[in-house]
């Protein structure tokens, strides 16, 4: 009865998976043909569909970014033996920022040629990164069985990766001031870094 009140790993995983499932599906709610009062003909439908392409691009980038964060969360909970309240609250913050993604994506999809949209999107990503980075810190330094020295070493590696990710997001925000089109692709770069991350983390 020593750990009564300590939430198990299982439920925070279930809640997080649920949040990701809903957020990933809600992204697509934004793909919608404009309401028309009369009947559409084939040419008008094609034009409407083509007009959705920038939204589709934002949607796919956001989906891939969410995939990277989900994989990261999985690796995290795979590493820990159990969770404590500090970890839980950081996880709850993490999903709070995840729930913003459908909104900031929609903003990018509709108005990414305006200065503020890529900035708001970048700030959203930076907040998710910060929450996940804090979760890694708690996990590695307090919630695993590995030796103190190895934990410190792994935390150092993880932290450097997150610093790199912060730099990418910062660059994207800065570039957005020059040309919004760059920004979207820098976020895509962020995604490729994400996909490459797992292997080294395993090796260490």
Residues at the contact surface with a second copy, assessed by CB under 8 A: 4-8, 11, 13-15, 17-29, 31-33, 40-42, 45-46, 49, 60, 63, 67, 70-71, 74-75, 78-79, 85, 88-89, 92, 95-96, 99-100, 102-103, 106-107, 110-111, 114-117, 120, 195, 198-199, 201-202
**Is 8 or 160 the residue whose CB approaches a second copy more closely?**
8
Tokens for 51? 């007009």
To a second copy, the closest distance from the beta carbon of 102 in angstroms equals 6
**Is 121 or 168 the residue whose CB approaches a second copy more closely?**
121
> Who contacts 2 (Cβ-Cβ below 8 Å, separation ≥6)?
none
Tally the residues of the chain: 204
Cα dihedral value 138, 143, 145, 148, nearest 10 = 30
Alpha helices in 27-115 (DSSP H): 42-51, 53-79, 85-111
**Is 49 or 167 the residue whose CB approaches a second copy more closely?**
49
To a second copy, the closest distance from the beta carbon of 129 in angstroms equals 19
What phi and psi values does residue 81 have, to the nearest 5 degrees? -80, -40
């Amino acid at each position: 009865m020593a750990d009564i009140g300590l939430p198990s790993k299982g439920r925070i995983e279930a809640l997080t998976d649920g949040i990701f499932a809903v957020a990933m599906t809600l992204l697509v709610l934004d793909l919608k043909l404009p309401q028309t009062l009369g009947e559409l003909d084939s040419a008008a439908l094609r034009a409407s569909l083509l007009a959705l392409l920038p939204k589709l691009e934002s949607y796919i980038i956001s989906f891939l970014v969410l995939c990277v964060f989900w994989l990261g969360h999985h690796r995290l909970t795979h590493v820990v033996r159990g969770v404590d309240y500090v970890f839980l609250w950081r996880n709850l913050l993490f999903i709070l920022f995840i729930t913003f993604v459908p909104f900031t994506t929609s903003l990018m999809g509709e108005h990414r040629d305006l200065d503020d949209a890529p900035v708001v999107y970048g700030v959203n990503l930076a907040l998710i990164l910060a929450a996940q980075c804090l979760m890694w810190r708690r996990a590695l330094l307090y919630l695993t069985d590995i030796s103190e020295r190895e934990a410190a070493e792994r935390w150092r590696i993880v932290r450097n990766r997150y610093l790199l990710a912060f730099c990418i997001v910062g660059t994207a925000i800065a570039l957005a001031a020059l040309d919004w089109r760059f920004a979207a692709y820098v976020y895509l770069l962020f995604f490729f870094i994400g996909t490459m991350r797992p292997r080294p983390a395993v090796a260490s």
